[in-house]
Amino acid sequence: MFQLYYYPNNASLAPHFLLHHVDADYELILVDKASNSQKSPDYLRLNPAGRIPTLVVNGQPIFESAAICIHISELYPESGLIPQIGDPKRPLFFQWLAFLTNTLQAELMVKYYPHRHTDGESTIPNILAAQDDRIAEALAIIDAQLAHNDFLLGDNLSACDYFLFMLAEWSLPVPKSPMTFEHLARYLRRMCDNPSIQAVCGIEEMDLSEMTSEK
């Protein structure tokens, strides 16, 4: 039994996709960001970083979305969400998940919380413009990988694809949005048909029309 502390379309989204994909028995617990509940003493006991998500697995809390995704994938080896030890795709799984969380997600965090990166309000537009470029650079690397691959690791869906879908959704407001990249846009339109993505986006009341519409 799992408890996922979540907020719609936050970093809890990728773990939520995975829990649904493996058909886990899980409970969703909403963290009320509007009242800053992620900084409450009770939540900080689970997640001292005061961030969303936290996954509680048999009473043990785990934080960091990518780590949670690895753990869920390893608990359900038959799901194929992570290549097994010895499979040459396994290092590529870690490479892409690390790239997504350390690069694209990190850049997105600066875009969404620019005031945490400056003490001068007037510099925020410059930060946002720089981040738009840095996010587009990361998206271009992913687009090149998808030019010859159906999924990030090749022929098969993995947890990396669910993580990428989450970050691509967050990147939609960037001027060079994921939907402006040929291969990435095609991939995202296909991922919108994934049953776990459809179900979880329904539960989290997310609108996927920007990704599904042909431009």
Total of residues contacting ligand GSH (CB under 6 A): 10
Instruction: Check: CB of residue 171 under 8 Å from CB of residue 177.
Output: yes
Q: How far is CA 147 from the centre of its chain?
A: 21
Considering the complex, state which of residue 149 and residue 208 has its C-beta at the smaller distance from ligand GSH.
208
**SS3 annotation, 80-127:** CCCCCCCCCHHHHHHHHHHHHHHHHHHHHHHHHCHHHHCCCHHHHHHH
State the CB neighbour count (10 A cutoff) for residue 98: 12
Of 47-55, 139-147, 159-167, 193-201, which part binds ligand GSH (CB under 6 A)?
47-55
d(CA 30, CA 7): 6
Q: Annotate each residue in 22-41 with x if it binds ligand GSH (CB under 6 A) or - if it does not, as one string.
A: ----------------x---
State which of residues 10, 131, 145, 158 lies at the interface with ligand GSH (CB under 6 A): 10
CB 62, min distance to ligand GSH, A: 10
Nearest to 201 by CA among 3, 17, 73, 2: 17
Peptide bond into 15 cis (omega under 30): no
Shortest CB 57 distance to ligand GSH, Å: 15
**Residue list 55-114, contact with ligand GSH (CB under 6 A):** 64-65, 109
Of 49-57, 77-85, 152-160, 175-183, the segment contacting ligand GSH by CB under 6 A is 49-57
- The yes or no reply on residue 204 touching ligand GSH (CB under 6 A) is no
Query: What is the binding site for ligand GSH (CB under 6 A)?
Result: 10-11, 38, 50-53, 64-65, 109
